[in-house]
Amino acid sequence: MSNHHTTPGDHRAKTTELQREIDDIYAVQLDHVTKDFGGGVLGLDDVNLGFRTGRVTVLLGLSGSGKSTLLRHINGLHAPTSGTVRVLGQDVNSVGKRGLRELRRNIGVIFQSFNLVGPMSVLENVCAGQLGSLKGPRISLMMYPKSVRREAIEKLDRVGLADRAYQRADTLSGGQQQRVAIARALMQRPTVLLADEPVASLDPVSALDVINLLRQIAEEDNLTVIASLHQVQLAIEFADRIIGLRGGQAVLDRSTAGLSAEEASTIYSSVSGMDLAEAGPSPAAKDQPAAGSVRTPLSSGLTR
């Protein structure tokens, strides 16, 4: 047997095998990731997180806590100052330009501002989600292969907007535009979906609508979803797991299963820093009393 335990290359082989197993479990891994923006600003400060394949995670935190910075490390828009980011079994910062382009095809992205091309039809916007894997710019809808147009209609059907295919994108409501953006992201057939405040521009009813749709699609397609949100209540309804960020550090990390109202209010306190500001820099969220610090409605829908 050439692969015996005592061969010199064996340790490395086992390490690779172990890494492969870890990669199967965690679609996204951050290992000691620090991002120094200079001037004393740490966008991320020694973040260690594994995001399990097929799970929905919400990043909670105040403005400037590092949510967008973390998401941008996952699709390689930021490179860490130190530490490593692995996505779908690859080190994002050592795959090279071409490797990154290929990796990004598996990563759908949804933005707060939808980023649709307003004067274009809904269908054209969705077809454009395929651009990463087609050659050359498309000038009109007819330049997309029929199979692409058919698939785009299918995706629109999934988000409940097939009947709006030929309408100008900028004539849709905000909630509808975000649904189109979801359909566009699905054209890539992603396995990872990043959403940076996907409902921050929407009214509460449309926000819940979009969150429910994302949840449903995540389950149906076994997507690994990482989303930033501001609302604790929505996060609890949407996510399997909540991670609280503050000053670039992960200060809280817990499953939403069986979360009580009291625990939820503690999450809110720890993420907003209201209680902790008095308690000093130690992130001892669990020990802080929640009473009197609840600002979000937490009375219903806490468990799924």
**Which residues contact Mg ion (rule: CB under 5 A)?**
67-68
Q: Which amino acid is at 294?
A: V
Region binding ligand ATP by CB under 6 A among candidate stretches 8-16, 57-65, 126-134, 136-144: 57-65
Number of Cα atoms under 13 Å in the Cβ half of residue 217: 25
Q: Considering only residues 26, 33, 43, 158, which one is a binding residue for ligand ATP as defined by CB under 6 A?
A: 43
Query: For residue 248, what are its two tokens?
Result: 């670039």
- Contact call for residue 201 and ligand ATP (CB under 6 A): no
Residue 101 has a CB neighbour count (10 Å cut-off) of: 12
- Contact call for residue 79 and ligand ATP (CB under 6 A): no
- Contact call for residue 67 and ligand ATP (CB under 6 A): yes
Cα–Cα distance for residue pair 269/99, rounded to 1 Å:
41
Cα–Cα distance for residue pair 180/176, rounded to 1 Å:
6
Region binding ligand ATP by CB under 6 A among candidate stretches 63-71, 141-149, 213-221, 234-242: 63-71
Region binding ligand ATP by CB under 6 A among candidate stretches 8-16, 26-34, 36-44, 83-91: 36-44
The single residue listed with the structure tokens 């699609």 is 217
Give the count of residues interacting with ligand ATP (CB under 6 A).
11
Region binding ligand ATP by CB under 6 A among candidate stretches 12-20, 64-72, 155-163, 181-189: 64-72
β-strand pairing of 192-196 with 41-52:
unpaired
User: What's the min distance (Å) between Cβ of 65 and Mg ion?
Assistant: 9
Going by C-alpha positions, the residue among 41, 40, 50, 43 that lies closest to residue 70 is 43
Please choose which of Mg ion, ligand ATP, none residue 190 contacts, taking the beta carbon within 5 to 8 angstroms, the exact cut-off set by kind: none
The answer to whether residues 4 and 10 touch, using CB atoms and an 8 Å cutoff, is yes
- Contact call for residue 41 and ligand ATP (CB under 6 A): yes
Please choose which of Mg ion, ligand ATP, none residue 37 contacts, taking the beta carbon within 5 to 8 angstroms, the exact cut-off set by kind: ligand ATP
Cα–Cα distance for residue pair 159/181, rounded to 1 Å:
10
Cα–Cα distance for residue pair 95/119, rounded to 1 Å:
36
Q: Which is nearer to Mg ion, 53 or 111 (CB)?
A: 111
The answer to whether residues 207 and 237 touch, using CB atoms and an 8 Å cutoff, is no
Q: Which is nearer to ligand ATP, 110 or 128 (CB)?
A: 110
Q: Which is nearer to ligand ATP, 22 or 41 (CB)?
A: 41
Q: Considering only residues 37, 157, 255, 260, which one is a binding residue for ligand ATP as defined by CB under 6 A?
A: 37
CB-based contacts of 202: which residues, under 8 Å, 6+ apart? 174, 175, 178, 210
Q: Which is nearer to Mg ion, 68 or 233 (CB)?
A: 68
- Provide the binding-site residues for ligand ATP, judged by CB under 6 A: 37, 41, 43, 61, 63-69
